[in-house]
Amino acid sequence: MIFDFHDQVILVTGAAGNLGQAVSFAFYAAGGSLVLVGRWREKLVELFNEQIPEDERGLYVTADLSAESSVAEMVRVVLAHYGRIDILVNVAGGFTMGTAVHETAVETWDFMLNLNARTTFLMSRAVIPSMLAANRGKIVNVAARAGLAGKAKMAPYVISKSAVIRLTESMAAELKDHNINVNCILPGTIDTPRNRADMPKADFSKWVSPAALADVILFLASDAARDVHGAALPVYGCS
Ligand SMILES: NC(=O)c1ccc[n+]([C@@H]2O[C@H](COP(=O)([O-])OP(=O)(O)OC[C@H]3O[C@@H](n4cnc5c(N)ncnc54)[C@H](OP(=O)(O)O)[C@@H]3O)[C@@H](O)[C@H]2O)c1
């Protein structure tokens, strides 16, 4: 074990997803107490019941992270349970592409901005006051390589992940003097079942694995990254 997260409370959004599971298992293996956030409790129970049981080191909570009241209520429940959140990992997010800007439905624009940028904003906004009160904390956001530059037929996604990078930088500037580190990672294509199904001819060995991304997230959440503020770390594998 490289990092030790004993006595630390780590909240992971999108815990039931591909990357969220890898991140949750990695923090748990490093001794952390996990708050697993998903949309459906049954899914969390099915995925985590055996390896991260609900006990003093495991708590399952549900929320729609794009809804302000749902996020506020969920964070209230977590703080009532653990008394603090030491580390927030904003993994929840998603992808869609396929239309040029002039053909893109307003619903698609709203969907991407809500799913990637609004969820990160709402979660961070809800958790930061408790970190400020504790004068310590770590926030790790999951943006994307695609957030670095515009691409054809991908504008809503690219812009939503660009927003996560800029949000990361803004929060880092606001919080660095309060012993709170805010950084993000930029995954390239992740080796997930969905990506394998969508791109069957690709060389999967070039993609970055969820476990490798989890290692980088643990580093950014650790004391080893105490002087890193506002970074957007590329984690592309060999693609
Ligand atoms: N896959 C890639 O190649 C890739 C590349 C670059 C960046 N990323 C980013 O990496 C992160 C994880 O990707 P992934 O492939 O692991 O995705 P995933 O398997 O689809 O997981 C995403 C998770 O977000 C949750 N979620 C979505 N909307 C939500 C909402 N309104 N409230 C609460 N939770 C919500 C989903 O919950 P449910 O389980 O309830 O559906 C799901 O567990 C995302 O931010 C993604 O944009 C992915």
- Ligand 1 site residues, Cβ closer than 6 angstroms: 14, 16-20, 38-40, 43, 64-66, 91-95, 115, 119, 142, 144, 187, 189-190, 192, 195
- 179: in domain: yes
Structural domain containing residue 42: 9-234
- 239: in domain: no
- 125: in domain: yes
- 2: in domain: no
- 119: in domain: yes
Report the domain count for the chain: 1
Question: 4: which 2 tokens?
Answer: 């030790």
Q: Calculate how far, in angstroms, residue 137's C-alpha sits from the geometric centre of ligand 1.
A: 23
- 4: in domain: no
Confidence tier at 2 by pLDDT (50, 70, 90): confident
- Give the end-to-end CA distance of the chain in Å, rounded to a whole number: 27
CATH number, domain at 67? 3.40.50.720
Range list of H helices, 12-98:
18-29, 41-48, 68-82
pLDDT per residue over 93-118, tens digit each?
999 999 999 999 999 999 999 999 99
Q: What is the pLDDT of residue 1?
A: 61
DSSP string, 119-140: HHHHHHHHHHHHHHHHT-EEEE
Bridge partners, residue 180, by sequence: 137
Q: Calculate how far, in angstroms, residue 54's C-alpha sits from the geometric centre of ligand 1.
A: 22
pLDDT per residue over 129-167, tens digit each?
999 999 999 999 999 999 999 999 999 999 999 999 999
- Phi, psi (rounded to 5 degrees) for 216: -70, -40
Q: Calculate how far, in angstroms, residue 179's C-alpha sits from the geometric centre of ligand 1.
A: 28
Q: Is the pLDDT of residue 27 over 80?
A: yes
